[in-house]
Structure 1
Amino acid sequence: MATGITETDVWTAADALLLEGARPTIERVRQKIGRGSPNTVSPYLETWFRSLGARIKDPGAFAAPAATPDPVAQAAAHFWEVALAEARAQQEQAHRGRWEELAREGEQLASDAEQLQQREAQLANREQDLQETLRVATSQLAAAEDRLQAAEQQLRQRDELLKRNQLQLEDARSATQAALAESEKIRAQHAQALEATETRHSAHERRWLNELDSERGAVKRLQARLDEAQAASQQQAAQARKALEQEQDQRRLAEQETQAGRAEIQAQQLQQQADQAAANAALAAAREREESLASRLAAAELRAAESLAQLKGKDEQLGELTRHLMSLARNETAAGQASAADPQR
């Protein structure tokens, strides 16, 4: 940078270049000093050239210090003589070409300044675009975070729904177990009732058979008595026939009671079958409800896993986009700083 460059610095650098056998130019003086802009170095170098003639007339103007070794002093004297010869030969040419060189350098500097301004404007535009892109990415990231929070809320709600479904499934299983136990209890009761009915029917049937055998024996006895008494009296025969009819009526009544018992047993069997069918239907309905709840639970878990995977994918994409934008911003900032630090670029 040109800040801090003085005329003494430019004259010292020009003297050193002249002692080295090189013609002092703006670029060489800048390289010798290590800093400075052409606009700052140029007027100081012009005054150096204007005073060079008067300084040449002074033999001690470029004399080396007294402590300088002889070989160095001789080399300096040699370079001084060469520089003087070249300066005398090129003084007029330097004056003529100097203004042309300064004009070209001024044009070059103006072009460089215009290019620098254009690049600074481009960098400013790029920085504005990057800031806008970063702002959009930040808003997208915030929206993604909101969506993620909403998805997490949905997941929590689904977890609660799953818990409720699991509780309902447990309740259904408990109800099914209770229904099965009740069905087994009813089946046992029906079996006991059927066994008791069959026992009672067997007892009745044995009693009725015994009574029938007794009646048959009585009929046989009456028939024998009838045969024995037939010759004795028609009235006794009629009474005997009437008694036989009464016995037959009692036998028919006994048979009717037997048929009524069988019908009661059949009705109890039909009732038991109906109760068994109802218990089976209740068991099938409970199992169907359990399967439905299990399928709904599996579907809800699958949807929750898919939603979580999609959210993770979106988070990775947004993170990659953010890292890419930040990398572009760092590269552009570094390029802008490098261009600002080197005006010749």
Structure 2
Amino acid sequence: MLEIGKRGGVGERDVWEAADTLLLKGFRPTVERIRAQIGRGSPNTVGPHLDSWFKALGSRIQDPSAFCASSEAPDAVSQAARTFWEAALTAAREACTDELTQDREALAQEAAGIEKERADLAGQRIRLADAAQTQQTLIDTLKTQVEDARASLSAAATERVALMASHERQIAQLHAERATLEDRLGAADEKLVAMQNELSAVKSGCDRDIKEALLRFDQARSEARVAQNALAELRQHASAQDAALASLTKQLAAAEAGRKTAIQANVSLENAVAAEKAEALEVKSKVQILETELRQAEEVQATLQAALDAERSRASELALLLANSQGEIVQALRSLEQSKKGSPAGLDPRGRTTKRKRGIPMR
């Protein structure tokens, strides 16, 4: 009994009937032709049924009645079917023989190709083994290089972190130094302002002391004119008075020089302030220079004060001497007038200092 395919499937009977139909049409039954004839079925299902059909084909050919119609058919139909079936069998045998020959030749060619491919695959396998060995060696080398590169990168990263930390410390130190320098510059500016004020006060004090000294000298000279008659007895002291007056003139010249030094120190101080704002790096040295000039100005002031004190004492002595030595005072005044003519242009005939234009207004 032929198996009938389940619902939706392909059975042995379906495959046999399709194979008989293809054989009667003169085609060699194959899996693809049977699937096309039936319209469904997988190669795994059709293949075994087709093999069983080929196994039974010989016995069926020897028994022509196996392909006959049922006994109920008329004799004429049975005879026609038998004739048709025998013709189909003959054609099928010839077709099968030709196809088998072609299949044998194709299989021989395929076997030769497979053998060649097998040899090629063996050579390729050897080449692949060599290439794999080379690749493995290269991979080992690359792994070593990668490990070395990783170690180098780790060392470089560590060095970079240390360098960044060092840079950050240097930057913090620079910020601290900058803040310190700014504080020093602010203190220097304040100190310079204080020094300017102090120098202005010193200059004002010097001018005031010089004016007072000149006023007292004028008063002494007026008293000397009044006491000209009393100075006749002091002729023997003329030389000493000449020396005293010459010393006084030198002291006044020194006072004028100190005043000029103070003015120059003030000019230098203002120039130093302007230069300090443009060149912050030289502020310390300029401040030291200004401090030195300030000390010099203070020394000049002290010298001037000492000279003024000496002048006051000498003026008192001179007043006493002028009261007794009119003739010697007249000679001394003539010598003083001559010494004033040879003195610096900064003194006028009355002994007062003239204000020169020096870029900084006199106070």
Q: TM-score, normalised by structure 1?
A: 0.50
In terms of fraction of residues, the more helix-rich structure is: 1
| Structure possessing the higher radius of gyration over alpha carbons | 2
With a CA cutoff of 8 Å and minimum separation of 6, indicate the structure with the bigger relative contact order.
1
Q: TM-score, normalised by structure 2?
A: 0.48
